[in-house]
């Protein structure tokens, strides 16, 4: 009976010491210790360490669920975007074959349209478009021909992400911005409205559309498509360009009217295709990014689980050793 009473008193004292140490471990020293090495510190910090790791495991699991769901949504949207993209390519390709594409053409009035996305978490497609826009502007500014150096008249930005980045260093060059344009989906009516706004804001001799061309779910190609105005096409026609072999009939200004219609429709088809190409690249990049994030979350979760199990096992083993050692010491004292 004396042995049992002594063991009970010993266990009571051990529980009190462990409880007081655990309470002190929730202070500021515990936080710095866990963040520094991720391992257990003193005996009193075991419960707090396990709680911190367990909470972090819960957070990682929640993040993994979100990234996995976003990957599935992006994959679903990617299939629909690819179908729409294939149809749009058959529209602009004949115009490019007829009117050509000359990104380095020397003109007096130039406008650049940068296509980006409204949402993030899609890899580097937005930063790539912004980087090409800045590089193209720098090339124009540093060109050895004065006329070309003065030709950069402004930027039209489509998408919130491109707007946020280019406003930092090119705010004076921005002519027009459009955000949330993909909320109702990309269609030709939307593109026509954008073209009308661009024509109201600026006159141009050439428009360069910068976007990401979709290649695969893991690859996209930054692309610059050039659209010439009716006046520039007229000059090329008079100077012996690709349109010289065609004859224009109708009114007295039949050639000018036809070239004006061709130029505006060419711009609409190129911009329409550019928006679809960029939207498809966005979904592919988002699917790849969320897949990588999900795999990274699994790796982090495995490491946290291992750390949690080790700390839990160490805490149980230490407590058992303390109890057995205390009981043995008490028994030796009684003897």
**Taking the complete model, does pTM exceed 0.85, yes or no?**
no
In percent, the amount of the chain with pLDDT more than 90 equals 33
| pLDDT per position as a tens digit, 204-233 | 888 999 999 999 888 899 999 999 888 888
Q: How far is CA 25 from CA 37, 40, 306, in A?
A: 16, 11, 22
SS3 261: helix
SS3 at position 152: strand
Contacts of 268 (CB under 8 A, 6+ apart): 188, 191, 192, 195
Res 182: pLDDT: 75
| Pairing assessment for the beta strands 219-228 and 152-158 based on DSSP bridges | unpaired
Q: Are 45 and 26 in contact (CB under 8 A)?
A: no
Q: What is the pLDDT of residues 52-109, one digit of tens each?
A: 888 999 999 999 999 999 999 999 999 999 988 988 888 887 877 777 777 777 788 8
CA angle (131, 176, 116) in 5-degree steps = 40
d(CA 335, CA 171): 88
CATH placement of domain 80-289:
3.40.1380.10
Tell me the domain boundaries of the chain.
2-65+293-334, 80-289
């Amino acid at each position: 009976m004396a042995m049992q009473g002594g063991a009970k008193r010993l266990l009571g004292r051990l529980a009190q010491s462990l409880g007081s140490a655990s309470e002190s471990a929730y202070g500021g020293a515990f936080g710095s210790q866990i963040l520094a090495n991720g391992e257990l510190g003193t005996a009193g910090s075991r419960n707090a360490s396990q709680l911190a790791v367990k909470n972090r495991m819960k957070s990682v699991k929640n993040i993994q669920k979100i990234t996995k769901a976003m990957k599935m949504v992006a994959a679903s949207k990617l299939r629909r975007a690819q179908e729409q993209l294939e149809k749009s390519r058959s529209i602009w390709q004949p115009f490019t074959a007829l009117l050509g594409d000359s990104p380095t053409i020397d003109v007096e009035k130039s406008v650049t349209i940068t296509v980006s996305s409204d949402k993030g978490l899609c890899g580097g497609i937005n930063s790539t478009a912004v980087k090409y826009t800045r590089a193209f502007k720098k090339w124009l500014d540093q060109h050895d021909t004065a006329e070309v150096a003065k030709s950069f008249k402004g930027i039209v930005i489509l998408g919130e992400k491109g707007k946020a980045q280019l406003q930092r260093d090119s705010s004076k060059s921005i002519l027009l911005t459009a955000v949330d344009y993909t909320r109702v989906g990309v269609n030709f009516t939307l593109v026509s409205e954008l073209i009308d706004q661009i024509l109201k804001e600026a006159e141009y001799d050439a428009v360069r559309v910068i976007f990401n061309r979709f290649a695969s779910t893991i690859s996209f190609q930054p692309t610059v498509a050039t659209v010439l105005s009716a006046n520039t096409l007229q000059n090329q026609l008079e100077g012996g360009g690709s349109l010289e072999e065609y004859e224009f009939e109708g009114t007295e200004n039949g050639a000018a009217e036809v070239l004006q219609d061709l130029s505006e429709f060419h711009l609409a088809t190129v911009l329409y295709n550019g928006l679809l190409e960029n939207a498809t690249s966005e979904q592919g990049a988002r699917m790849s990014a969320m897949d990588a994030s999900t795999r990274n979350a699994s790796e982090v979760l495995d490491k946290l689980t291992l750390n949690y199990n080790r700390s839990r096992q160490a805490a149980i083993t230490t407590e058992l050793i303390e109890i057995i050692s205390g009981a043995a010491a008490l028994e030796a004292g009684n003897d």
